[in-house]
Structure 1
Amino acid sequence: MSFSIRLTEEERKLADSYARLHSITLGEAFKRALFEKIEDEYDIAVADEAYREYVDSDRSSRPIEELWKELDL
């Protein structure tokens, strides 16, 4: 699948520079950026859900020092 993106001259220069810096094609640079963004948003969604589950469970955290003492570390 292919697609096109309209860029200003300044945006194109920046994207070309980034691709050259990383020794990849402009298409690969955009592909990597897209999937990194998707992964980041997925990670945030998973973390938010885990935090909601933690809050809803009525558990509480404790200082790491207590765990170290408990484990004799």
Structure 2
Amino acid sequence: MPHITFRVSDQEKSWIDSYAQVNGVSISDAVKTVFFEKLEHEYDLKIIQEFEAEKKSGSLKVYSHNEVGKMLELK
């Protein structure tokens, strides 16, 4: 498995250590978890922004439960 090295200040190292300890995980797992949660959050925000832009422009098509049921021939 590849290794990644990055530099942090003493204070940042202390925060990372504390976070890992409080959550009962290794430093590696703590950093990976926080990184991927941030990545997922940013992706979610991008999707929301795209949704809002489509809604504002009038190009968003929304279907009711009944319409979806008919489209899938469930009703």
TM range (shorter): 0.7 to 0.9
1:1-73 to 2 correspondence within 5 Å? Answer: 1-57=2-58
Give how far 1:8 is off.
Answer: 1.0
Give how far 1:58 is off.
Answer: 7.6
- List gaps (5 residues or longer) in structure 1: 60-73
Identity score, percent:
29
Q: Output the CA distance in 1 between the equivalents of 2:15 and 2:38.
A: 18
Q: Output the CA distance in 1 between the equivalents of 2:12 and 2:36.
A: 19
Superposed CA RMSD: 1.5
Q: Output the CA distance in 1 between the equivalents of 2:59 and 2:7.
A: 50
- List gaps (5 residues or longer) in structure 2: 61-75
Please identify runs of 4+ aligned residues in structure 1 that moved more than 2 A: none
What amino acid sits opposite 1:31 in the alignment? Answer: K
Partner deviation per Cα, 1:24-59 (whole Å, 9 max, x = no partner) = 000001000110111011000000000011011188
What amino acid sits opposite 2:58 in the alignment? Answer: S
Give the count of matched residue pairs.
59
User: Structure 1 stretch 18-27 or stretch 3-12: which is displaced more?
Assistant: 3-12
